[in-house]
Structure 1
């Protein structure tokens, strides 16, 4: 077997040795042009692929997020709504203020899961967001309360503000047991306040 391979190898070696040397000292410019054109075409197809992927991905996210948008519209709270309500709708009607206080109460009741998972940053964000316009809503909703119960309503509103400030403090520290206790106090005081508005 070695005898067959040896003559083949020697023939290849002689062909390599007998090939003429390169006559041109400069490389061909056409190959550089061809490769740059090929790179441009390849870049163009890559750009098209990226563009199509981005557009289809955006459409897919839009379809997937449509139930979330509907849910956000239902609750109507968040950073964008806070900015809108704070600067462009400063005076809400008493009925709207009462409904926003009820939405805040529902949101506070659903905050328990975040406390259990110790998501302190989200809890702080939510509390401060709600504190920002809850005082104004309580002032607007005072018109809905009968004259004889307004003193009790203002005491309940002050208690709610104090409890939310205490809750914010304990979440910032973060002290777990005290956070739960102040959270329960806040829930009790907001339910007491809603009793006046019902």
Structure 2
């Protein structure tokens, strides 16, 4: 099992006596092709082949695709996870799809549920939070993401930021109607019983 450092830190925070085995550090496997060969030789099922070598990491919120030689940008490489609206509707509209080219790889992300929720919550916050609160919340969100990405979930700073976020969202209630069209999310109406202004 390949262990990524952000997973190790929470493991050790919960139990410092754990012994993490990280084959990617100990074995002489230098690339994906070799990893696939090893899996094949030892009858380990993997969802990739040398011909279709890109990796997918997914959950109910998000799905990412990564490969240096990613050539397909069509629907064949997108597997959508969305419990907020019809998957067919989201697939047809292409909501939450991002294509990024970095220094090491090309990555494609499908985050339809997250995109819809983010836009809806943002609209409610514009009714219920003042400008200064929004600015502080936005700056802390970046730091929060950095901590989580680095595996520092069990960190007092993250817990303190949770308390701040819970306080700021006490009044973030209401309803938002959105329109999905060709990859975009447009808010068509919003209302909240806790809005700051009449």
Provide the TM-score with structure 1 as the length reference: 0.27
Q: Which has the higher helix share?
A: 1
Q: Which has the higher strand share?
A: 2
Instruction: Work out which of the two has the higher radius of gyration on C-alpha atoms and give 1 or 2.
Output: 1
Provide the TM-score with structure 2 as the length reference: 0.27
